[in-house]
């Protein structure tokens, strides 16, 4: 499988990987990735920085775009030392995880690292994490990593991660657990199902870190 798989041209990509990937949802799940002490520490850190969270935008344009019909979440880039620890661990594990997904290995570079918080009514409609057109970056996204760190047991409802095969014939729902990692190709369609937050408390939200590598 060639590295141009990840270049964001889905039409050409589908021809290259058919039928090996078209009808499946390549992904890897790791439970207990960094330990519950790390997960709870990161959660408390984000809670302490709630005022620095901003509404999640759509697209890669300089001014972004806001559409809560498509995406309803908050984001926080203030991860402190937790961000560096998580990034280092991901970089160490990515070669192994790419082999598990059947992807060609490459030397990953961290492109983006952000905490994403879903509260009452939070969701993200089906999308891919690669950009197209004039706002496509010079170094495209290849692999998406999601690290979950919500309260245990969950104090929110819903919020499953749904993965779609390129053929749209197969879906896989992944229920987030604290200290769990999910990794998949950035070109794989996915969505976050609607979240309910009975308490209305920020601390009870659905917490995840999104790390994007190219």
DSSP-derived secondary structure for 98-136: HHHHTPPP----EEEEEEEEE-TT-EEEEE-S---GGG-
Higher pLDDT among residues 63 and 95, named by residue? 95
SS3 55: strand
pTM value is: 0.86
Residue 103: CATH number of its domain: 2.60.120.620
Average pLDDT of span 151-175: 97
* pLDDT given for residue 11 in this prediction: 42
**pLDDT tens digit sequence for 25-41:** 999 999 999 999 999 99
CA distances to 40, 47, 171 from 34, rounded to whole Å, are 11, 19, 27
- Could you give the number of structural domains in the chain? 1
**pLDDT tens digit sequence for 101-150:** 988 889 999 999 999 999 999 999 999 999 876 566 677 999 999 999 99
* pLDDT given for residue 18 in this prediction: 47
Contact 49, 76 (CB under 8 A): yes
**pLDDT tens digit sequence for 45-75:** 999 999 999 998 776 544 556 678 899 999 9
**Is residue 207 very low, low, confident or very high in pLDDT (cuts 50, 70, 90)?**
very high
* pLDDT given for residue 75 in this prediction: 97
Range of the domain at 130: 3-213
C-alpha to C-alpha distance for 6 and 214, rounded to whole angstroms: 9
Higher pLDDT among residues 29 and 10, named by residue? 29
């Amino acid at each position: 499988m060639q590295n141009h798989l990840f270049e964001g041209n889905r039409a050409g990509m589908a021809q290259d990987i058919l039928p090996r990937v078209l009808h499946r949802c390549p992904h890897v799940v790791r439970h207990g990735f960094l330990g519950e002490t790390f997960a709870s520490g990161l959660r408390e850190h984000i809670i302490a920085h709630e005022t620095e969270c901003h509404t999640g935008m759509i697209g890669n344009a300089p001014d972004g775009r806001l559409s809560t019909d498509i995406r309803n979440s908050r984001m926080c880039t203030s991860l402190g030392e937790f961000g560096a620890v998580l990034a280092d661990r991901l970089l160490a594990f990515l070669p192994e995880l790419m082999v598990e997904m059947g992807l060609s290995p490459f030397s990953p570079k961290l492109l983006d690292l952000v905490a994403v918080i879903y509260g009452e009514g939070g969701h993200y409609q089906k999308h891919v994490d690669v950009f197209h057109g004039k706002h496509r970056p010079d170094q495209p996204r290849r692999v998406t990593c999601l690290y979950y760190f919500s309260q245990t047991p969950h104090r929110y409802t819903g919020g499953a991660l749904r993965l779609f095969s390129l053929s749209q014939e197969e879906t896989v729902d992944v229920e987030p657990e604290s200290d769990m990692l999910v990794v998949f190709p950035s070109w794989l369609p996915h969505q976050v199902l609607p979240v309910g937050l009975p308490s209305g408390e920020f601390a009870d939200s659905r917490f995840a870190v999104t790390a994007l590598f190219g």
